[in-house]
Structure 1
Amino acid sequence: EFGRYASGDILEPLDNYIDMKSADVQDFIAPVLRLYNKDGKQLALPHFAATQLLYYRPDLFEKAGIKRPPQTWEEFRNDCELLKKADIQCTALRGQPDTGEN
């Protein structure tokens, strides 16, 4: 939604408010902060950011006959099929109850 609002010029830049409150924007991860910046003006502040990682277990890949981790999403899908055939769950996602991530 941010992109739509930013391109519609309906957001007020926050720069003056940030200066008035002596907010330390250095507390934010710079690339994430820049996601909410347009034409050098800070239009929003990030509420949440997370790094998504993909881990694999070499022992389970070996059991399923997979020689290396996938390099593409197509390889990932194919590897999932091989894992399922070996009765191994392909993916597990982090999350906790009532966070919308479970």
Structure 2
Amino acid sequence: MARPSRNLPNHEAGSTWPDERLDDAPSEVARQLALNLRTAMGRRSTRGVRAATGVDHTTVADILKGTTWPDLNTIARLEHGLGVDLWPAGVARGHRVEDDQG
């Protein structure tokens, strides 16, 4: 059975991604993770991040644009390779969670 489709992280934000806070918990976590990644990258390109982490440059770009849901393997590889914590701990508390099955 196929998994139900869900909105992309940037669905609520549109052109304001990733600079505007979102009400949906998963989207806000993804937004803050993208901001943390952008900061951790510094002056590195997406290909530079790929060299440091092994995460494909297109995946890095998609995370930054909010057009993918990064999985735990990807996040762990990014954190390890960049030497920083990217996961925005505690962000989901106090946010709503949308039902994507409608």
- With normalisation by structure 1, the TM-score equals 0.29
Q: Which has the higher helix share?
A: 2
- With normalisation by structure 2, the TM-score equals 0.29
Greater Rg by CA = 1
